[in-house]
């Protein structure tokens, strides 16, 4: 396939996605040759995962939770909440973080990487909702959050804010979709609403990112004292900011390498932008580290740091919070982007570890029989992540996500 064809050339004079597919994807290749080009190691791995995982998803809804999970009455939350829901949502925080920086704070130099961040956030929330549907014994009862008022419940707030923010992300994602379809009128009207959508995204994200932490305020006896704190909702929000910044760096690095041909002619200095994000990441992670120490001091749990759980806690906040903060700062100060990227990867892993610690590993820590996810739970989670990756690749290869259509550039 000729990857040298620029975005502008492939869309010149065209407004219909059918012609876009023919020019950009097939590029004169026969159907058989195009199908052969799809046989790659990545596609083979994806095929194997989906072939095993999709039937398991159907089986889960047909046979129920008891047949597919290791959940119980004492452990109603498992991998699908700890990883798919809580981790998926926090790693999607780059959408509102970067949108706020560009549209509210006027940091327009980061505008070229807003769209990939929003797409990552949108797909992350969709996969999180799918994981939640799998986790609910009666998923059709989700309608109850709309029909009945429960304003005193943190879970009610999470449900409404997630629904609202997912809708906002959909509308923000429609902007490049309208460029792809050639719907100039709809694109112009949606562009005028971007400021309002950004404000809503910040409001809804702030509320539900912190409310996810508030869910654990009612479980002080179940969550290990090193992770439990009356300020856990603040920890969740600040860590979401760190996760958003770090995930934008990780996603941008991968996109720049995998979809380099899609960015031809865009002239985006990805390294310079990532160094700027490294400065913000260093500050946020450093603040998060001391907030976690403040939680230990507030609870007067210093002696617990010298236990096995304390070693695990220190591994999380030193190895995956403080060290990435130093890597961000060193890389940004000396303009060495590889240190920024290394810090971003470690920070993402640290946020994943934190959410798993809070929701699974350090939850019900003092019970003799601890929960371990079944292989079916793991496989379904892997399948949902794979679906998100495949969707991102499909959209990024066809829509103006990594490089805007130049015909619409003046409307932003």
For range 155-184, the mean pLDDT: 91
Chain centre distance of CA 294: 27
Evaluate if residue 212 carries a pLDDT over 60: yes
**Burial category of 33 from C-beta neighbours within 10 Å (exposed 0-12, middle 13-18, buried 19 and up):** exposed
Residues across the chain? 412
- Which H helix or E strand runs over 177? helix 154-181
From CA 384, how far away is CA 72, in angstroms rounded?
A: 23
Evaluate if residue 208 carries a pLDDT over 50: yes
Nearest to 248 by CA among 91, 102, 86: 91
CB atoms within 10 A of CB 249: 28
Greatest alpha-carbon pair distance for the chain in Å reads 69
Instruction: Supply the DSSP string of 305-319, one letter for each residue.
Output: GGSHHHHHHHIIIII
Instruction: Supply the DSSP string of 3-51, one letter for each residue.
Output: TT--HHHHHTT---HHHHIIIIIITT--HHHHHHHT--HHHHHHHHHHH
What 8-state DSSP symbol labels residue 322?
Answer: I
Judge contact between 344 and 246, C-beta under 8 A: yes
Evaluate if residue 7 carries a pLDDT over 50: no
Give bridge partners of residue 363 from the DSSP assignment: 223
Chain centre distance of CA 98: 13
| pLDDT for the residue 6 | 39
| pLDDT for the residue 262 | 64
Where exactly are the structural domains of the chain? 40-411
From CA 400, how far away is CA 392, in angstroms rounded?
A: 12
Q: What is the pLDDT of residues 339-363, one digit of tens each?
A: 999 999 999 999 999 999 999 999 9
Chain centre distance of CA 63: 30
Q: Give the confidence band of 182 by pLDDT, cuts at 50, 70, 90.
A: confident
From CA 405, how far away is CA 398, in angstroms rounded?
A: 12
Report the SS3 class of residue 223.
strand
Q: List Cβ neighbours of 10 (8 Å cut-off, separation of 6 or more).
A: 20, 23, 24
Q: What is the pLDDT of residues 68-107, one digit of tens each?
A: 999 888 788 899 999 999 999 999 999 999 999 998 988 9
Q: What is the pLDDT of residues 286-309, one digit of tens each?
A: 999 999 999 999 999 999 999 999
Q: Give the confidence band of 264 by pLDDT, cuts at 50, 70, 90.
A: low
* pLDDT mean across residues, the chain: 87
Q: Give the confidence band of 23 by pLDDT, cuts at 50, 70, 90.
A: very low
From CA 180, how far away is CA 398, in angstroms rounded?
A: 8
Q: How many angstroms separate the Cα of 11 from the Cα of each of 27, 60, 400?
A: 13, 43, 10
CB atoms within 10 A of CB 148: 8
Q: What tokens does 36 get?
A: 């052969």
| pLDDT for the residue 336 | 94
Give the CATH number of domain 40-411; options: 3.20.20.70, 1.20.1630.10, 1.10.150.20, 1.10.10.60.
1.20.1630.10
Q: List Cβ neighbours of 99 (8 Å cut-off, separation of 6 or more).
A: 114, 117, 118, 172, 198, 201, 202
What 8-state DSSP symbol labels residue 221?
Answer: T
Report the SS3 class of residue 134.
helix
Evaluate if residue 227 carries a pLDDT over 60: yes
Q: Which segments of 106-237 are extended strands (E)?
A: none
Evaluate if residue 4 carries a pLDDT over 50: no
Q: List Cβ neighbours of 412 (8 Å cut-off, separation of 6 or more).
A: 111, 191, 404
From CA 322, how far away is CA 386, in angstroms rounded?
A: 30
Q: What percent of the chain has pLDDT over 90?
A: 61
């Amino acid at each position: 396939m000729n990857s040298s064809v620029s975005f502008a050339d492939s869309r010149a004079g065209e407004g219909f996605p059918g012609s876009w597919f023919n020019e950009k994807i097939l590029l004169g290749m026969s159907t058989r040759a195009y199908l052969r080009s799809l046989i790659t190691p990545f596609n083979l791995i994806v095929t194997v995962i989906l072939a095993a995982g999709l039937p398991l998803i159907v089986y889960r809804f047909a046979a129920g939770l008891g047949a597919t999970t290791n959940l119980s009455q004492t452990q109603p939350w498992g991998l699908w909440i700890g990883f798919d829901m809580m981790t998926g949502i926090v790693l999607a925080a780059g959408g509102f973080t970067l949108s706020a920086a560009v549209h509210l704070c006027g940091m327009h130099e980061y505008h070229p990487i807003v769209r990939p961040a929003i797409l990552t956030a949108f797909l992350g929330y969709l996969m999180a909702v799918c994981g939640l549907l799998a986790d609910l014994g009666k998923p059709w009862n989700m309608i109850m959050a709309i029909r009945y008022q429960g304003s005193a419940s943190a879970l009610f707030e999470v449900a409404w804010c997630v629904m609202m923010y997912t809708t906002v992300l959909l509308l923000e994602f429609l902007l490049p979709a309208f460029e792809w379809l050639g719907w100039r009128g709809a694109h112009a009207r949606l562009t005028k609403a971007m400021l309002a959508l950004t404000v809503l995204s910040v409001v809804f994200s702030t509320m539900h990112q912190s409310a996810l932490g508030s869910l654990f305020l009612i479980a002080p006896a179940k969550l290990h004292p090193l992770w439990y704190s009356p300020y856990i909702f603040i920890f969740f929000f600040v860590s979401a900011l760190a996760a958003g910044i770090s995930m934008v760096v990780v996603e941008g690095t991968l996109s720049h390498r995998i979809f380099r041909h899609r960015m031809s002619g865009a002239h985006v200095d990805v390294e310079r932008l990532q160094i700027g994000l490294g400065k913000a990441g260093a500050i946020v992670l450093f603040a998060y580290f001391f907030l976690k120490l403040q939680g230990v001091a507030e609870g007067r749990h210093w002696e617990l740091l010298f236990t096995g759980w304390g070693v695990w806690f220190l591994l999380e906040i030193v190895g995956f919070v403080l060290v990435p903060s130093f890597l961000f700062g060193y890389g940004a100060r000396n303009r060495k982007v590889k240190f920024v990227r290394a810090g971003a990867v470690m920070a993402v892993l640290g946020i994943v570890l934190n959410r798993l610690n809070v929701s699974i590993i350090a939850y019900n820590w003092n019970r003799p029989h601890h929960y371990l996810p079944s292989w079916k739970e793991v496989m379904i989670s892997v399948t949902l992540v794979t679906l998100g990756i495949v969707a991102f690749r499909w959209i990024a290869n066809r829509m103006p996500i990594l490089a805007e259509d130049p015909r619409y550039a003046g409307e932003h």
